[in-house]
Chains A and B, each alone.
Chain A
Amino acid sequence: QQQVKQSPQSLIVQKGGISIINCAYENTAFDYFPWYQQFPGKGPALLIAIRPDVSEKKEGRFTISFNKSAKQFSLHIMDSQPGDSATYFCAAALTSGSRLTFGEGTQLTVNP
């Protein structure tokens, strides 16, 4: 009930392309869905987050799409850049501020 499943495990995109990472969750009580970016040797950094009362949130090149009925959400990175190459984690929490349950991560490589 607490799992968050993330796919794909790895993704290679050309510069300027769109990167799409998907997550699915089981627990319908989850109420907060952040995405984190992690570079090697660094801690995860919050990118963008959404709550289930909206279906989409956009911040710059990053967009979260949320489908409450399907219990799925996804991260879209528009105009992907080599500097976006990192590991991305989706997460979910019962409320913002409570424990985060993370997906397994997606290693994104953006080729120049």
Chain B
Amino acid sequence: DTGVSQNPRHKITKRGQNVTFRCDPISEHNRLYWYRQTLGQGPEFLTYFQNEAQLEKSRLLSDRFSAERPKGSFSTLEIQRTEQGDSAMYLCASSPIRGYSYNEQFFGPGTRLTVL
């Protein structure tokens, strides 16, 4: 499968713990996006990268959240001192900047975070 992959698929943690999620985009996709989706809602934008540069961050991305894409390939999203309100599905998407699917965003299956 050459789609966007995310790990882990599920994460249960206790309030106050740190968690890290990984996203592997489609090969050669320059752009990588993180979104958060709560039950019954549409995804909300968190941040995006073009190659290794973080180009935009949402106000939703508090100081407890940090995202990296050090080599312009995979990305990690870390949440420090988790709170119950962080419980959500964290979605990663990637897009090429040239070719047939120019700028279309392809989503991964998500990581479901539950904070107890």
- Chain A residues with CB under 8 Å of chain B are 6, 32, 34, 36, 41-46, 49, 89, 91, 95-105
Contact assessment for A100 and B109 in the assembled complex, using a CB-CB cutoff below 8 Å: no
Most chain A CB within a 10 A radius of its CB, from B40, B43, B56, B91: B43
A70 to chain B, nearest CB (A): 21
A41 to B91, CA, bound (A): 11
Contact assessment for A102 and B56 in the assembled complex, using a CB-CB cutoff below 8 Å: no
A71 to B52, CA, bound (A): 35
Contact with A along B73-94 (1 / 0, CB 8 A): 0000000000000000001010
Q: What residues of B have a CB within 8 angstroms of the CB of A95 in the complex?
A: 103
A97 to B102, CA, bound (A): 8
Contact assessment for B42 and A105 in the assembled complex, using a CB-CB cutoff below 8 Å: yes
Q: What residues of A have a CB within 8 angstroms of the CB of B108 in the complex?
A: 43
**CB-contact partner of B42 in A49, A96, A104, under 8 A:** A104
Classify chain B: how many residues form its interface, as a range. Answer: 20 to 34
Contact assessment for B95 and A43 in the assembled complex, using a CB-CB cutoff below 8 Å: no
A97 and B41 in contact, given A43-B4, A43-B108, A43-B110 (Cβ under 8 angstroms): no
A15 to chain B, nearest CB (A): 26
Closest B residue to A9 using CB positions? B40
- Chain B residues with CB under 8 Å of chain A are 4, 31, 33, 35, 40-45, 48, 56, 58, 91, 93, 95, 97, 102-110
Q: What residues of A have a CB within 8 angstroms of the CB of B105 in the complex?
A: 34, 46, 97, 100
Contact assessment for A97 and B31 in the assembled complex, using a CB-CB cutoff below 8 Å: yes
A100 to B107, CA, bound (A): 12
Q: What residues of B have a CB within 8 angstroms of the CB of A45 in the complex?
A: 107
Most chain B CB within a 10 A radius of its CB, from A32, A89, A91, A99: A99
A28 to B93, CA, bound (A): 25
Contact assessment for B42 and A102 in the assembled complex, using a CB-CB cutoff below 8 Å: yes
B1 to chain A, nearest CB (A): 13
Q: What residues of B have a CB within 8 angstroms of the CB of A41 in the complex?
A: 109
Q: What residues of B have a CB within 8 angstroms of the CB of A105 in the complex?
A: 40-42
